[in-house]
Every structure is written in C-alpha cells, then in structure tokens.
Amino acid sequence: MKLHEYQAKEIFAEAGIPVPESQLADSVEGVLDAVAEIGYPAAIKAQVHVGGRGKAGGIKIATNEDEAREAADAILGMDLKGYTVDRVLVEQGVDFVDEYYVGVTMDRGEGKPVAMVSTKGGVDIEQVAEEDPEAIAQEHIDPAFGLHPYQARKVVYDAGVPAEYARDVTSILSKLYDLYEDNDASDIEVNPVMITADDDVIAADAVMNIDEDALFRHPDLAEMEEDAYQNDLERKAGEYGFDYVRLSGNTGIIGNGAGLVMTTLDLVDYYGGTPANFLDIGGGAKAERVANALDMVFSDENVDSVVFNIFGGITRGDEVAKGINEALEQFDEIPKPVVVRLAGTNAKEGMEILNTDLVQVEATLAEAVQRAVKNAEEVAQ
C-alpha cells in the first residue's frame, strides 16, 4: 500500500521528523485558505502516486495569491501520468541551500534492510544509482538487532554529509528505520532532506510504502487504505485482491503470476504496443475472479484491447477456459476485443473449450500479444 505524501508526513511528524507546515486541499478556495494561513512562499503539490511530479507540472511555487490561484487551477483536475489530481498538499516554502537523500529499503539480494544516504538529493535516486553509484552510501542492517547508532553515524559519514548537519541527518535516518520496522514498511525515504538557509534540516518530501499483508497488525494504517487509493480502479483491485498497477497505454493485460504478467508487458512493448496495466489475478481462474478482472480492465477508458496470458499449473487449463467462458457470458456485450493464450496443464483441452465467438484464441504468447496490439491499433483509429 502506497501512502500519499501527506499521509506519510503525518506519520513522520508524529515520529519527531521535522516537516514543513502543510494543509490538504481539494479546491481552489481550499488552497487559498490554506496558503493564507501558512504564508508565502508556498509549494502546491499534487497528491498522486507518481515520481517526477515537479517536471510534469504537478508541483508549483506560489509567492502571492494570484500565483496560488493559478497553480491550484492548473494542478487540480490535471492528468498527471495517467492519474487525475483531486487533492493537493499546500506546504510552507523552504529556503534551502542543499538537498540530501535518506532512505531505507529491502535489499533482496542480501536478504536484509539497507540504509542509504546521499548528498545528491532532490533528483531521481535510481538515476544517481545508475550514473554515480558511489554517491550513495549504504549500510546493511541485521533485522534481529535493528539499526545500531554507530551504523547510522557511519553511513551518514560515508555519504559525505558535512559535520554540522550529520547529527540531524543521522536522527532522521534512525527514526525512518524505526518507522520502517514498526510499521512493516517495504520502502521509506525522504528525497530531498533539505538544508535550509538557517541551517535547519527538514524532510521536504515523504515516501512510505506498507506491506499490505501486514495491515491486519496495523489498524491505524488500514484506516488510511481507502484514502491511499488513487482512483476507482485501484479501489476495485483492493476489493478483488488483485495486484494492479495502471499504466498509460491501451493494451490491457491479465495474467496469473507476476513474472508472467511482466513478460507480457515486455512483449506488448516489443511488438509496438503500449501496456495499459499490470494485473495479476493470482492462483486460480474461477469464473468470478476472471469476471472481476475483466470488469476492471473493461472499466479503464484507456484500454482498447485485452490479452489474457494464463499458465495452467495447479489450476488446469480446461478449468481456466471454463472460467473465461462463464465470465464473458456474464456480459451482454463484449466491449473490447479479448485475445487468450493458454499454456501448461491441459492447455490444449482448454484452447478447444474456449468460446471463439467471445474471444480470439492464439497458440503462442507472441501471437497473442501481436493480435492484441493489432486490435488496439484498429480500435484506436
């Protein structure tokens, strides 16, 4: 579960991490009321689950009422990388002289959490990792003992943080790790940690992602889940128990297994299409589950065609085919062309069972993807 910036900052503030004064607003008048109370300059920041909001026009600085109104008008309702902005965070402007990165995530290769600090903050940290990996200091953490104080000091020192700011940056890192551990987070970071002109150290941004399977242990976070959804499709995915990510393309993708879905995404791109989503329906493909998946994909106005990529393992291919037939028969009209590819146990029997009046059947994944991409191109014309 991805928390919005405003939600993460509320948690950070409660933990003692310094954050700018801010208010949430969902209208132009709400923005003006908030900025009148907070003061100028103020940052008006779109609350959507995407990176690069600033470059995409989702963050603007206002120094007076006219600029605040103009920024609110521009951001509220805008389409930001496929998401409609319906809320903004109005935040006190920060007069900064430097920007750092501080975060904790899971290093799956090492099987341990890793604390990361860099003096190259305020930019895409993945880009920094690719172009200048030595600019990111790392310290692996034994989860049995947690982040020792000496480890926090060491990684801050290794990153080259000046001595006059090291204590405050170390404090932020230690508190981030406590939040990471206590809340079953998968990622937590501040990018940037800003050094102000008055030599204060402030968390100017906040990212906190929670392991959804652990929400039963955190009722306070579970209450945030509804607000954490960005749109109706994400809300439906949560209700149906699907792993779902909306993308910006027009070829809908449904599969059972994350690896299978990722392969399909790659092939859609390879054959000149653009994926509309990542949708993993998990194990089993009973009619109700398939119908729910189709309901989600059909509900996405960006989708022009759909490709089903199902591998029959424990669930046999003929059972999957029956589920697809039953699901499609629930629709009075199939709104978008559907291509199906089955593989694995009883795949041949399943392909014979599929109702070709409702779906297009292809023998291989490559053929299915090419058919779906072609369908999308024809619908879009």
What pLDDT digit, counting tens, does each position of 270-326 carry?
A: 999 999 999 998 766 667 788 888 888 988 888 999 999 988 777 688 888 888 888
Q: Which helix (H) or strand (E) holds 327?
A: helix 317-329
Catalytic residue among 101, 177, 240, 244: 101
3-state secondary structure of 120: coil
Tell me: is residue 37 an annotated ligand-binding position: no
101 is catalytic: yes
Position 330 scores a pLDDT of 82
Catalytic residue among 5, 189, 234, 319: 189
Burial of 132 (0-12, 13-18, 19+ CB in 10 A): exposed
164 is catalytic: no
Residue-range domains of the chain with CATH = 14-92 (3.30.1490.20), 96-223 (3.30.470.20), 232-380 (3.40.50.261)
Q: Residue 339: which of 311, 307, 364, 293 has the closest Cα?
A: 307
Torsions phi, psi of 76, nearest 5?
-65, 125
**Chain segment 240-252, per-residue pLDDT in tens:** 878 888 888 999 9
Per run of 10 residues, the mean pLDDT along the chain (length 381 residues) is 93 97 96 96 92 88 97 93 87 96 96 97 90 96 97 98 97 98 96 96 96 90 67 74 85 91 96 94 73 86 92 79 86 90 90 91 95 93 77
Is the bond into 41 cis (omega within 30 degrees of 0)? yes
Tell me: is residue 52 an annotated ligand-binding position: yes
Tell me: is residue 379 an annotated ligand-binding position: no
